[in-house]
Chains A and B, each alone.
Chain A
Amino acid sequence: MLEYLGRRLLWSAVVLLAASMITFTIGVLMPANPARMIAGPNAPASVVDSIAHELGLDQPVYVQYWRYLTRALHGNFGRSFKTSQKVLPTILRRFPYTAELALAGLFVELIIGVSLGVAAAVYRGSGIDGASMVFVLLALAVPPFWLGIILLYLFAYVVPIFPLGGAAGGASALVLPALTLGVTGSAFYTRMSRASMLEVLSEDYVRTARAKGLKKAIVIYKHAFRNALRPIITMAGLDLGVFMGGVLIIEEVFGWPGIGTLAWQAILNVDIPMIMGTVLFTAVVIVLANTAVDILYGFIDPRISFTRGGE
């Protein structure tokens, strides 16, 4: 058990190290001279050189990487070239918005996906089952950014219930982005909870419970549903990680001030420290979420062998 935990954490550390290398490579490959960007287009070459020296740009690449790594480990991600504000505090200021959207989106996904999927499995072959399949096909086919735009048009313009984007307006501003994220994502949950429920419903112990004369609702909830939940939890965990890293396209459609739009602006501005910061931050969030899920999964499901971890 401890060995499994240790191995899993060690692997996460390796992934993060690799992530830092990729991010650093991105920074080095950027078609811009950071010293020139800080100094401004009209600064004399001597000023640019001295800034380059200050930044350590005249050092060999591995020295630069080491410096980057040690600083990043201390939470120092540098300052934005654009706003000269510190990168990490800027990211952390935006993070609550992303977290809010991620949780709300996941909530919508689970509510729609699990209830549709379970209903489809319980009433297999019925109209509900058919309707849920049509929903899955449509939800998989609709481009998320298109759905977002159409929802904005319908419910912020034609019937102005919700604000036309941005995060001002509290909970009502969250509704449309969360719906967009949730509806497009719920297709997988519908499919998966249907398949998982069908599998559990055909198990012997469910049949036994029914044969004992237990009410159908109790059997479905207590015996079947709980056991069908496992794969759903796994996927929700993975999704949470991805969402927490910022859902660029949906944030962009709704002008949501999360990590996604922050990273995107940084890319468009060639703001190297901010790009490196947001990409690394996102990778860290995803890796942490995946690790947490793996470990949790190990606790939930005793059938997972702890001796061969990481699979």
Chain B
Amino acid sequence: MIQERATEGGRIETPAQAAFRRFRRNRLGVTGLALSFLIVLVALSAPVIATRNPNTQFPDGLSAMGGPLPPSSTFWFGTDNLGRDLYSRILYGTRTSMFVAISANIISLVIALVFGTVAGYAGGVTDTVLMRITDILISFPVLLLAGFLAVVLRPGVTVVVLVIGFSSWFYLARIVRGEVLSVKRREYIEAARALGAPSGRIVRSHVLPQILGQALVYGTLNFSTTVLFAAALSYLGIGVQPPRPDWGNMIAEGAQYLTVMPWLVIFPGIFLGISVLGFNLLGDGLRDALDPKNTGGR
């Protein structure tokens, strides 16, 4: 560890600089960063780069028979069964996906941090009880539970965010707890305690900053899972509701016309796949950069 920090020039690298150096050398990680950046950029600039209004049903967007049009120079990705421009809908769908995934991940990150930190720092009975609760929640069919909640609470963007946020923190909480356990035993924590610092302050100013990096990395890895989860909910009809464009509900709508117009399913699926791929690569790259020993596995 210590040897690694000294660079050729004899300057001492901070851990963050070392991590950045490792990340930059990781080609896949950099590709992931570029893809994720691109997806977020598309989401932010959808109103600018979309060629048409995503919800307008264009009279010239339907064939003489009233069917959707295949990709052409006017409608880049073709149109859907209502004559809407698929390209613009997919761009706006990126917005929906990113919004859902980011909000849901903030919720699950906060829950996981609180749960994991309390369990890891308090230890003893509290730890056992809290970890047993996550054990129980992990062995529950999450999609069924989410589906049930979405039906009870009337589906929509807010419900999707809440459902995903509240059902995807279990693994992260375990990781946070593990990190807290290892940080807790370090000497500077002991020193802080010996000086009489209250537990709340030790956690806030000594423990949390140490584990935040790890938590964010696993949050990034979780991000792609949430994007897929949200799309699955939309596909089932309990996620984001039409006409609001979303990759999942576009695939579900397109699947009904699959045999005649496969592009309705293919294009949104490709965008979904690219964003999942991008965030996966980014997460893997960040993890390898922060923790060079831990590679691969699940």
Contacts and interface: CB of A to CB of B under 8 A. Distances in A.
Contact of B277 (A141, A144, A157): A141
A311 B262 CA distance: 48
Interface in B132-191: 132, 135-136, 139-141, 143-145, 147-148, 151-152
A116 B200 CA distance: 49
Given A157-B259, A263-B144, A267-B144, A150 B269 contact: yes
Contacts of A188: 298
A149 B298 contact: no
Interface in B196-225: 224
Task: Give chain B's interface secondary structure class.
Answer: helix
A144 B251 CA distance: 12
Nearest to A152: B258
B81 interface: no
Given A153-B258, A153-B262, A282-B141, A143 B298 contact: no
Contacts of A191: 296-298
Contacts of A275: 148
B251 A287 contact: no
Contacts of B152: 29-31
B147 A264 contact: yes
Interface stretch (B2-10, B38-46, B228-236): B228-236
Contacts, number: 117
A157 B265 CA distance: 15
B84 to A, nearest CB: 20
A26 B140 CA distance: 13
A252 B251 CA distance: 14
A15 B135 CA distance: 8
Contacts of A236: none
Given A142-B273, A143-B273, A188-B298, A19 B232 contact: no
B71 to A, nearest CB: 17
B232 A143 contact: yes
- Interface bin, chain B: 35 or more
A248 interface: yes
Nearest to B227: A143
Interface in A98-125: none
Interface of B: 132, 135-136, 139-141, 143-145, 147-148, 151-152, 224, 228, 231-232, 235-236, 251, 255, 258-259, 262, 265-266, 269, 272-274, 276-277, 280-281, 295-298
Given A157-B258, A249-B235, 20 more contacts: A14-B132, A31-B152, A140-B276, A140-B280, A141-B274, A141-B276, A142-B269, A145-B231, A149-B251, A152-B258, A153-B265, A188-B298, A191-B298, A195-B297, A248-B143, A248-B147, A249-B236, A268-B151, A275-B148, A279-B148
20 contacts: A26-B148, A29-B152, A140-B224, A141-B274, A142-B273, A143-B228, A143-B231, A146-B265, A149-B258, A150-B265, A153-B258, A191-B296, A245-B141, A249-B232, A249-B235, A263-B141, A267-B147, A267-B148, A270-B151, A290-B139
